[in-house]
Structure 1
């Protein structure tokens, strides 16, 4: 029984090679998985479940095919696709899960799943933006706008995010170790899997009670670098794996 965790694909109409890589991933690499967790930023932007064009439909159909074949599909919101809604879940056969979420491996070992952006507490400007965009009232007002207006808003937000980030230091945009330890203590877990930072790695550290803890960070998928990332759970063993996007259909 294999469970897979991925994040930060940032799929968009302008990157057809990346879209094809994801379709190949579902068809080949994830073929024998029992469950797939997509932990935020599957899409570069999502402006509402009522704005589904050919590109979005292509992804929805592939996810539906995956879930219809008896496999479990879970989707968490990211900082780019926080407007994914119940209609998307219904169309794909996915379950939308909270951020954070706790799952159990082998029935009694809890693992904490997060997108990861809420851990970047040193970036005060971003934390304010996050609080605004996660506010149900703000989301309701935004979804009430005409589709074209929402598209323009999403473009402006992406541009603003890009220019703001260009002036921030790397450590400000990374997760805060204190925030990591606090949430892990609160949730009584010793294992955390998250994405968002695009810094794939496995971090070993000690929590306040001197217990050994692990933090698995998923990398982003990148066509130019020809790399995708996943965390695989086989039995009780978690591994962070890098794979070639161009070779997915060859396996």
Structure 2
């Protein structure tokens, strides 16, 4: 048995192949897992649990079916779907986790997160993140009519795309010192995250000891997961 980790699917109605691949994954490989952890950006955008989007109901039912089969599912918010709330969690059977969580898996202490908080060189993004994570602002946004929320979300996505187009890849990647500080603070030698869309397993040194940073790939043309067993930690790409 294995513990599985995925992130950055960016599910949306415009990409049905990714949705179909995810549904097959939930009905296939995920059913054999000890647990499934989704590390953010499951959806391309989230404007509230009350959205009537059929895709959301379809995904919620598939996740519920997985949980009902005996595989627990956990979720850490990403930068695209940080408004996923308890209503959707109840509907899907997922358990919401804080932005950083330490797991004990087969004798390994593993820190999991979405990964955007590690991109500390991107000062513009970090300032934006601090604003939109204010509780009062989220409450105000969720109180708006759905059609207004959709317009705001569309503008934000367009603005994000334009801003990222002018940034270097180095600025949008993780800061190595931020990585070491997070791992040292949590006293772990394993870190699993998404967000950067740069799948790899990076060896590094933390507090004078060997450590590893495992980065999940985005689900653009193929699926990506990290499989943790007693014997190994593997980064696995697979076709939809």
| 1:50-101: CA deviation from partner (whole Å, max 9, x where unpaired) | 1132111111110111111111100110000000000011001110011111
RMSD: 0.9
Asked if 1 retains the 8 angstrom alpha-carbon contact of 2:74 and 2:97, the reply is yes
Query: Match for residue 171 of structure 2?
Result: 172
Q: TM-score, with normalisation over the residues of structure 2? A: 0.98
Which blocks of at least 5 consecutive residues in structure 1 are unaligned? 246-251
Give the length in aligned residue pairs: 240
Partner SS state of residue 84, structure 1:
coil
Partner SS state of residue 31, structure 1:
helix
Distance in 2 separating the partners of 1:178 and 1:52: 42
Query: Match for residue 248 of structure 1?
Result: none
Query: Match for residue 224 of structure 2?
Result: 229
Asked if 1 retains the 8 angstrom alpha-carbon contact of 2:76 and 2:98, the reply is yes
Query: Match for residue 208 of structure 2?
Result: 210
Distance in 1 separating the partners of 2:231 and 2:40: 24
Query: Match for residue 78 of structure 2?
Result: 78
Partner SS state of residue 125, structure 1:
helix
Asked if 2 retains the 8 angstrom alpha-carbon contact of 1:173 and 1:197, the reply is yes
Deviation at 1:236, TM superposition (A): 4.5
Which blocks of at least 5 consecutive residues in structure 2 are unaligned? none
Query: Match for residue 45 of structure 2?
Result: 45
Asked if 2 retains the 8 angstrom alpha-carbon contact of 1:99 and 1:114, the reply is yes
Distance in 2 separating the partners of 1:35 and 1:23: 16
Query: Match for residue 54 of structure 2?
Result: 54
Query: Match for residue 33 of structure 2?
Result: 33
Deviation at 1:48, TM superposition (A): 0.4
Partner SS state of residue 216, structure 1:
strand
Deviation at 1:234, TM superposition (A): 1.5
Partner SS state of residue 159, structure 1:
helix
Distance in 1 separating the partners of 2:223 and 2:93: 24
Asked if 2 retains the 8 angstrom alpha-carbon contact of 1:105 and 1:236, the reply is no
Query: Match for residue 198 of structure 1?
Result: 197
